């Protein structure tokens, strides 16, 4: 196993990378830093694995990494004891990170991991506390940490539920733009900043009241759960695929109340979404995996299982209050309306802090919410039809074909709407479709 010099420090700055060396099913993991830019013909800096159907250039630019690739290779050789040169390397890219798999002349392999800007500022990418917690308190297979340079004083965890509620609302408020900023046209951004602020003020009172309910408090135990526990982050043995060798990508993990994870289901346990335009038979294997996952939670993580059995209206205000600027004030307002209208039915005491709108307001709000739901359904169908992700990512090799399919989809729906207008059905205009369309046109 390669072991770096203990507590070595130098004037590295900017990008953090981790090196990994596999030997007899063990993984060594450490962190160092990379300094200045040095352009090379290998282009290790630019994102090349895919394109986006929405804001393509800005998405790719956000994943450009400025660093000195020659210095990175020198550091790899320094860390890989006994190596004199690098024989070859391979670049792989995910949504937040880029890795380089270096093969050295002594037969050892080193993996350098560099986060892109979309992963957040370097000062905030502190994986070490999470790794220490998982390594010290569980048997989850993760890379062994040999050395790091992060400050471990800010482990995130909240035992005060009231402080947690305030943190959610304050996060939502912090994401609002200045009131004088011109906003782009979008079905999700057609409310003023003042509207968001007013709803979040009501939201603060609502979730504080909910946090006093015994059902919420019983499922609020601080819980550490992998935030991206999907198949792509789980490694299994080549010899026996029932043996998990590693679970990676812990960067978004944090300690939250158990109920915060009530709606999270890994892709290996989630039924296949059916947003196609034709009926399809149910996926029996996927349904079986979902049932098996629920049974495992019931036996192994009972507090999380208990949270998943609660009425979802009790939890949705917590889940969406910090996301109003991304999801839209319309969606959060609907959550407040629903819990207010069901307050007594849900067994909650006193009255809801959010007063129900007037009948005239309800007509307007219902129509706005129907538009949001229609936009969401359109996006889910397009994701299925174009075989893309919610942010519109497409592998490079399929880019041209997907662009053509996107245009054909828009033209086909727009033509259907023009035909509907001819026969007097004006449920949606082409202008409204353009505003609702989730990708670039």
pLDDT tens readout for residues 10-50: 223 333 334 443 433 333 333 333 333 333 446 889 999 99
> What is the per-residue DSSP string for 365-433?
HHHHHHHHHHHHHHHHHHHHHHT--TT-EEEGGGHHHHHHHHHHHHHHHHHHHHHHHHTT--S--HHHH
pLDDT tens readout for residues 388-402: 988 899 999 999 999
Say whether pLDDT at 127 is over 70.
no
pLDDT tens readout for residues 341-377: 999 999 999 999 999 999 999 999 999 999 889 888 9
pLDDT range class, residue 118, cuts 50, 70, 90: confident
- Locate 90 and state its tokens: 């391979």
Q: Which residues of 201-220 are buried (b: 16+ CB within 10 A; e: fewer)?
A: ebbbebbebbbeeebbeebb
To which H or E segment does residue 166 belong? helix 161-174
Work out the average pLDDT over 238-259: 87
Between the CA of residue 235 and those of 95, 238, 285, what are the distances in Å? Answer: 18, 9, 21
Which among 153, 143, 133, 144 has a CA at the least distance from the CA of 222? 133
The pTM for the full model equals: 0.69
Work out the average pLDDT over 203-214: 95
Average pLDDT, rounded, for the chain: 79
Work out the average pLDDT over 51-61: 91
Sort 11 into a burial class: Cβ within 10 Å, 0-12 / 13-18 / 19+: exposed
pLDDT at 39: 38
Work out the average pLDDT over 322-341: 93
Strand 144-145 relative to strand 26-34, pairing: parallel
Between the CA of residue 199 and those of 186, 324, 332, 333, what are the distances in Å? Answer: 19, 9, 8, 7
pLDDT tens readout for residues 80-116: 888 899 998 889 888 888 888 889 998 888 888 787 8
């Amino acid at each position: 196993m390669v072991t770096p010099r203990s507590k070595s420090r130098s004037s590295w700055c900017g990008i953090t990378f981790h090196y990994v060396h596999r030997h007899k099913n063990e993984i060594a993991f450490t962190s160092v830093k990379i300094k200045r830019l040095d352009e090379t013909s290998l282009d290790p800096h630019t994102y090349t694995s895919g394109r986006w159907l929405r804001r393509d250039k800005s998405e790719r630019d956000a994943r450009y990494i400025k660093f000195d690739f020659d210095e990175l290779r020198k550091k790899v050789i320094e860390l890989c004891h006994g190596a004199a040169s690098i024989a070859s390397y391979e670049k792989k890219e995910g949504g937040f990170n880029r890795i380089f798999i270096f093969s050295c002349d002594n037969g050892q392999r080193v993996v350098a991991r560099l986060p892109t800007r979309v992963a957040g500022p370097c000062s905030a990418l502190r994986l070490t506390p999470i790794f220490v917690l998982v390594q010290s308190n569980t048997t989850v297979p993760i890379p062994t940490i040999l050395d790091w340079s992060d400050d471990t004083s800010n482990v995130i965890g909240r035992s005060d539920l009231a402080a947690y509620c305030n943190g959610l609302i304050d996060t939502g408020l912090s994401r609002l733009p200045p009131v004088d900023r011109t906003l782009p046209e979008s079905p999700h951004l057609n409310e003023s900043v003042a509207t968001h602020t007013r709803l979040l003020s009501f939201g603060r009172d609502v979730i504080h009241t909910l946090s006093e309910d015994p059902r919420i408090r019983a499922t609020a135990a601080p819980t550490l759960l992998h935030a991206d526990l999907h198949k792509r982050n789980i490694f299994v043995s080549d010899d026996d695929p029932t043996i998990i060798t590693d679970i990676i990508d812990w960067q978004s993990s944090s300690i939250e109340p158990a109920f915060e994870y009530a709606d999270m289901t890994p892709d290996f346990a989630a039924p296949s979404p059916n947003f196609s335009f034709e009926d399809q038979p149910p996926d029996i294997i996927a349904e079986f995996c979902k049932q098996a996952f629920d049974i495992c939670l019931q036996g192994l993580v009972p507090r999380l299982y208990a949270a998943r059995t609660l009425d979802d209206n009790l939890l949705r205000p917590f889940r969406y209050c910090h996301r109003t600027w991304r999801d839209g004030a319309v969606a959060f307002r609907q959550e407040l309306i629903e819990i207010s209208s069901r307050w007594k039915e849900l067994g909650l005491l006193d009255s809801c802090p959010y007063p129900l709108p007037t009948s005239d307001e309800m007509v307007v709000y219902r129509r706005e919410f129907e538009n949001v739901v229609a936009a969401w359904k359109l996006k889910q169908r397009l994701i299925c039809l174009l075989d893309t992700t919610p942010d519109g990512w497409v592998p490079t090799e399929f880019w041209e074909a997907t662009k053509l399919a996107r245009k054909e989809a828009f033209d086909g729906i727009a033509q259907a709407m023009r035909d509907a207008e001819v026969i007097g059905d004006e449920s949606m205009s082409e202008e409204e479709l353009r505003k609702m369309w989730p990708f670039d046109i």
